[in-house]
Amino acid sequence: MEKEIIFHNVSEIRDGLKRIHEPIIKHVQSGSNIYLHTLLVWGLLNRNYEFTDTAIWAIDNKRPQTAAHMLRGLIETLGFTHYVLEQVLSIKDSKILSEKISSLYFGSKKPNAQFKSINIITCIDKATKTFPNLRANYDALSEIVHPNGTSFAYSGKADPEGVENTALFGIPFYEFKENDEKKVTNQVGECCYHIISLCSAIMTALTPSQINK
């Protein structure tokens, strides 16, 4: 993720979200068959849409912890999508690639699962090669979404309305801290944009000839 602000407001994110159907629409309109990787990309784009759309709502309605939860989910989705593309580009054998896609699509942490899911932290760490700040952003968000001192601090604020040595707490209490709203808005927009771009790259790379039918 970039350090400078790229997405300044939710309107810019909404504009980017309009692209989300492109990777699948192009595939369907081409008359190509539906493969498992098509469904995998479909699922990634659907996660991206729901998390981004909910994050936009949370930003608009000053719900910092909801926005943090959605952004954390977007970072996990971005890390996983990056990992999928990495596997697609590195595995040349069509049979092995087909098996890998099955593992990525059906992967689960259940003890009796046929396919084991990849650890999401592994995906995020690998993605830092492309997005250097991704793990640091994820760790910072984890402090907000977990029940601890950082998340509890969102229940109030110090020196309300300029009154020194006082604090205001409430239930409910909705307010972003310092420049959190600006940072969350930018990161939500970046995640949404990059996930769509990575999904497009996956669909482009996985031509029918590369898939073991």
Q: Is residue 147 included in any domain, yes or no? A: yes
CA distance linking residue 78 with residue 81, whole number of Å: 5
Provide the whole-model pTM.
0.89
Q: Is residue 4 included in any domain, yes or no? A: no
The stretch 93-112 carries a mean pLDDT of 92
Structural domains counted in the chain: 1
- Closest by alpha carbon to 45, among 69, 74, 70? 74
For the stretch 38-81, pLDDT in tens is 999 999 999 999 999 999 999 999 999 999 999 999 999 999 99
CA distance linking residue 73 with residue 47, whole number of Å: 8
Higher pLDDT, 205 or 162: 205
147 preceded by a cis bond (ω within 30 of 0): no
For the stretch 122-132, pLDDT in tens is 999 999 999 99
Higher pLDDT, 164 or 54: 54
Could you list the residue range(s) of the whole structural domain that residue 40 is in? 10-210
For the stretch 10-40, pLDDT in tens is 999 999 898 898 888 877 777 677 789 999 9
Give yes or no for residue 173 having a pLDDT over 90.
no
The stretch 149-176 carries a mean pLDDT of 82
Residue 169 backbone phi and psi in degrees, to 5: -125, 150
Contacts of 212 (CB under 8 A, 6+ apart): 94, 95, 97, 98
Q: Is residue 131 included in any domain, yes or no? A: yes
Burial readout 133-166 (b: 16 or more C-beta within 10 A, e: otherwise): ebbebbebbeebbeeeebbeebeebeeeeeeeee
Q: Is residue 5 included in any domain, yes or no? A: no
The stretch 146-165 carries a mean pLDDT of 81
